[in-house]
């Protein structure tokens, strides 16, 4: 399965076993959110399961829980007296191919290191890394490696008997140095930490492997601290392997296989940068990743071992046809011809690596107090805050009471959605300090984007969900503010992505201009569009609004009240269609727009009948004295076939497409039966996307068009 990681667990309850594995190995700090990462599980035999986890969700959770760098409970804090230690300084070997500038940097840095060590009380012996013998290591009680990761891994591979080691980066300006956390500049502080016990020791288990040839003859493979890889070195040749975990076996064709221990490389490791997930430093787990593998077998069954994590032995068998080889720690070891196999065993002998940090990351998740409602800049102007305070939901808070209200603030260009909490006190003027920014979502495609909100940190996510569930929310775009109150606005369509997209398009294309004296909206809902017209059309003399719901008219008039002008007349009609609106300069319609198959009955989402009426009769209501008089209507790509039929042969219509926006189809799916859904997909072009990637499965395109009377030339 694409973009999933399989976690090999044992137990009657695979999900619970995964939770336990994740916490014990510092894959997650808390169980909260782990269930949302699981997308399935599959038995692999021997009482084991692969719990399939969405990689992107897990990485996002790991980021939120800040698991990178968590130390195991076994990490030893100080405790050793390094004042009486014999330090072996293993230095990188200078090759003739190294550029002169790099040699100079190396020598300058080494001179600084030796000067600092000479001034300390630690006895030092310096040896080039390629000349170190086991006897040199036996005579030392502490090893410092000066060079890069390659030098560190070479020296570490020879360490036995628990001799601790740390790394000094010889070229920090050019190399990150995953294992080399000390530089010449920080060495003095590191030595002081050694002398005062301000360090910890990590036991990093090596990967153990045994290679077998096609005749079954076995030979040990040098243990790997960092990684083991398999790759066909033939030009543009696939690496063919048979992966085996418990009783499950899969044939893979890939660009290579990387097998990595959970070592100190952390988030900067080759495995992580290649698409792996974070596994706690020093854990006994191994992560196996195939690069660009075939996702299914020849029968179309999904391959689940393309990326998995296990603490049990597993096998990699070569099916190579060309020049397949294997290596450890980034260096090639030898051939891996067809019929050969590697038995990979986690939890080999460990390397004791010194980390110069306090063990503060090990605070249990439940003991970490989150900062509730952190004070982030909400970006609201004083004028906007005043408008918000005049809404019904704010004014209805009685003196002495407190109420939290959800605010959805769209940027004028729809590039971001800010979700805020208003903490309103009755009888007290709302101020900036009583508004908290919970989240900012870039490029929103819904006014209430549930997928993105679900990925917020848990505190913000729950605040937003609870506020929205209990109603009382305010919407703001382009200075236009409306509210929705569930206690009064039953059966009223509140603002949606259609609404704010409509207002954005009207403003962007100059529809709100000085030629508009009379404007009408059909199906006003909560009144946000007609309110935008009232505020933006400065020459306005009259507004007219209709809706079939009396509560909608009440809601609209309530939202209009704070900005009504004495010179502007207001008329509201509890009516269907456009027959009662009279003559106008601007006619606005944001109708229901989802078509239905013939004989499917009446549904609140079906709206092409109103579109037909507007196309058929709308011109009769446009002011003939105003050449700019127009109809602006929003419809869906799902209704394109119907719309094309409605306008066919209408030579008197001048139609201009103002804007389009592709959005998820966000409706009450209990209202859509399978027959209707199939009709939308097969006949109307409802787009299906991978919801694991895009967050939502069904998509369509909103279209804002302007219709005018075509004038004869």
pLDDT digits (tens, 9 = 90+) for 545-574: 999 999 999 999 999 999 999 999 999 999
Residue pair 516/544 in contact by the 8 Å Cβ criterion: no
pLDDT of residue 281: 76
- The edge-to-edge listing of strands for the beta sheet with 480-484 is 435-442, 416-425, 402-410, 473-477, 480-484
Residue 74 has pLDDT above 80, yes or no: no
Q: What pLDDT is stored for residue 269 in this prediction?
A: 55
Q: Give me the pLDDT at residue 234, please.
A: 82
Identify the pLDDT of residue 80.
58
Instruction: Give dist(CA 268, CA 264) in Å, integer.
Output: 9
pLDDT at 397 over 50: yes
- Reply yes or no on whether the pLDDT at 463 is more than 60: yes
Q: Is 179 left (phi over 0), alpha (psi -120 to 50) or beta?
A: alpha
Q: What is the mean pLDDT of residues 503-509?
A: 97
Average pLDDT value over all residues in the chain: 86
pTM to 2 decimal places:
0.53
Poorest-pLDDT segment among 117-121, 509-513, 676-680: 117-121
Q: Which of 67-81, 278-292, 363-377, 618-632 has the lowest mean pLDDT?
A: 363-377
The answer on pLDDT for 117 being more than 60 is yes
- Residues 219-262 have pLDDT tens digits of 988 888 878 999 998 877 899 999 999 999 999 999 999 998 86
pLDDT at residue 294, as a whole number: 83
Higher pLDDT, 675 or 398: 398
> What confidence tens digit (pLDDT) does each residue in 289-343 have?
998 888 788 888 889 999 999 999 999 999 988 889 999 887 888 999 999 999 9
At 613, is the secondary structure helix, strand, or coil? helix
pLDDT band for 77, please (50, 70, 90 cuts).
low
C-alpha 583: how far from chain center:
50
The whole-number average pLDDT for the span 171-179 is 78
Question: Which of the four pLDDT bands, split at 50, 70 and 90, describes residue 667?
Answer: confident
pLDDT (tens digit, 9 = 90+) per residue, 690-712?
776 678 889 999 999 999 998 77
CA atoms within 13 A on the CB side of 541: 8
Domains of the chain from N-terminus onward? 4-72+206-354 (2.60.200.30), 79-198 (3.40.50.10330), 382-477 (no CATH), 493-709 (3.40.50.150)
| Confidence at residue 342, expressed as pLDDT on a 0 to 100 scale | 95
Instruction: Please name the residue that has the structure tokens 């130390």.
Output: 71
Q: Poorest-confidence range of 128-137, 335-344, 587-596?
A: 128-137
C-alpha–C-alpha distance, residues 328 and 259, integer Å:
9
Block residue for tokens 């051939």: 335
Alpha helices for 654-700 (secondary structure H): 674-682, 691-694
C-alpha distances out from residue 394 to 427, 438, 530, Å: 10, 19, 21
- Residue 201 tokens, joined: 């020791």
Average pLDDT estimate for 609-623: 92
Can you give the pLDDT at residue 604?
42
Cβ neighbours for 186, distance < 8 A, ≥ 6 positions apart? none
How do strand 402-410 and strand 416-425 relate by DSSP bridges? Answer: antiparallel
């Amino acid at each position: 399965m694409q973009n999933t990681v399989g976690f090999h667990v044992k137990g009657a309850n695979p999900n619970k076993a995964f939770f336990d594995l994740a916490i014990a190995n510092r894959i997650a700090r808390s169980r909260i959110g782990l269930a949302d990462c699981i997308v399935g599980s599959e038995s692999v035999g021997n009482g084991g399961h692969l719990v399939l986890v969405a990689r992107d969700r897990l990485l996002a959770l790991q980021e939120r829980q800040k698991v990178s760098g968590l130390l195991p409970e076994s990490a030893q804090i100080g405790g050793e007296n390094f004042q009486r230690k014999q330090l072996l300084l293993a230095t990188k070997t200078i090759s003739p191919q190294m550029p002169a500038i790099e040699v100079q940097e190396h020598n300058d840095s080494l001179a600084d290191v030796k000067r600092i060590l000479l001034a300390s009380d630690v006895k030092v012996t310096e040896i080039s890394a390629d000349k170190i013998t086991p006897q040199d290591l036996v005579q030392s009680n502490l090893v410092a490696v000066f060079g890069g990761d390659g030098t560190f891994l070479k020296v570490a591979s020879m360490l036995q008997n628990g001799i601790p080691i740390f790394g000094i980066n010889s070229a920090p300006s050019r190399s990150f140095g995953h294992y080399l956390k000390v530089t010449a500049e920080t060495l003095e502080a590191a030595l002081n930490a050694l002398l005062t016990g301000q360090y910890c020791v990590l036991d990093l288990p090596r990967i153990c492997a045994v290679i077998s040839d096609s005749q079954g003859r076995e030979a040990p493979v040098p243990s790997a601290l960092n990684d083991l890889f398999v790759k066909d070195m033939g030009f543009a040749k696939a690496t063919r392997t048979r992966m085996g975990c418990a009783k499950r076996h899969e044939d893979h064709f890939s660009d290579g296989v990387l097998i990595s221990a959970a070592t100190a490389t952390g988030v900067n490791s080759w495995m992580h940068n290649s698409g792996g997930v974070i596994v706690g430093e020093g854990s006994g787990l191994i992560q196996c990743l195939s690069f660009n593998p075939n996702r299914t077998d020849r029968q179309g069954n999904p391959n689940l071992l393309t990326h998995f994590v296990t603490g049990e032995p597993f096998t990699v068998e070569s099916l190579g046809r060309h020049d397949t080889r294997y290596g450890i720690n980034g260096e090639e070891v030898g051939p891996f011809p067809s019929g050969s196999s590697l038995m990979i065993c986690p939890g080999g002998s460990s390397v004791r690596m010194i980390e110069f940090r306090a063990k503060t990351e090990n605070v249990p998740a439940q003991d970490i107090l989150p900062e509730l409602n952190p004070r982030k800049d909400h970006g609201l102007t004083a004028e906007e805050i005043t408008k918000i305070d005049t809404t019904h939901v704010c004014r209805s808070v009685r003196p002495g009471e407190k109420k939290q209200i959800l605010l959805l603030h769209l940027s004028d260009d729809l590039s971001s959605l800010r979700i805020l909490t208003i903490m309103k006190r009755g009888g007290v003027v709302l101020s900036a300090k009583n508004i908290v920014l919970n989240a900012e979502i870039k490029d929103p495609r819904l006014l209430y984007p549930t997928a993105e909100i679900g990925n917020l940190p848990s505190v913000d996510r729950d605040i937003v969900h609870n506020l929205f569930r209990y109603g009382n929310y305010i919407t703001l775009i382009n200075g236009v503010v409306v509210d929705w109150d569930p206690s009064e606005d039953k059966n009223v369509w509140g603002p949606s992505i259609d609404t704010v997209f409509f207002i954005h398009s009207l403003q962007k294309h100059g529809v709100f201009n000085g030629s508009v004296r009379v404007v009408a909206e059909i199906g006003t809902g909560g009144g946000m569009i007609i309110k935008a017209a009232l505020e933006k059309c400065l020459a306005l003399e009259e507004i007219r609004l209709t809706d079939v719901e009396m509560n909608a008219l009440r809601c609209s008039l309530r939202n209009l009240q704070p900005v009504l002008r004495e010179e502007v007349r207001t008329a509201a009609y509890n009516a269907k269609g456009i027959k009662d609106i009279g003559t106008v300069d601007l006619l606005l319609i944001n109708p229901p727009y989802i078509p239905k198959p013939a004989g499917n009955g009446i549904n609140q989402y079906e709206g092409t009948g109103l579109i037909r009426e507007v196309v058929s009769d709308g011109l009769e209501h446009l002011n003939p004295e105003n050449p700019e008089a127009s109809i602006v209507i929003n419809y869906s790509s799902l209704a394109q076939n119907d719309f094309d039929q409605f306008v066919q042969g209408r030579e008197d219509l001048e139609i201009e497409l103002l804007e389009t926006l592709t959005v998820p189809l966000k409706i009450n799916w209990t209202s859509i039966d399978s027959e209707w859904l199939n009709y939308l997909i097969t006949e109307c072009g409802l787009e299906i996307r991978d919801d694991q990637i895009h967050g939502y499965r069904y998509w369509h395109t909103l279209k804002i068009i302007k219709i005018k009377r075509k004038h004869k030339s």
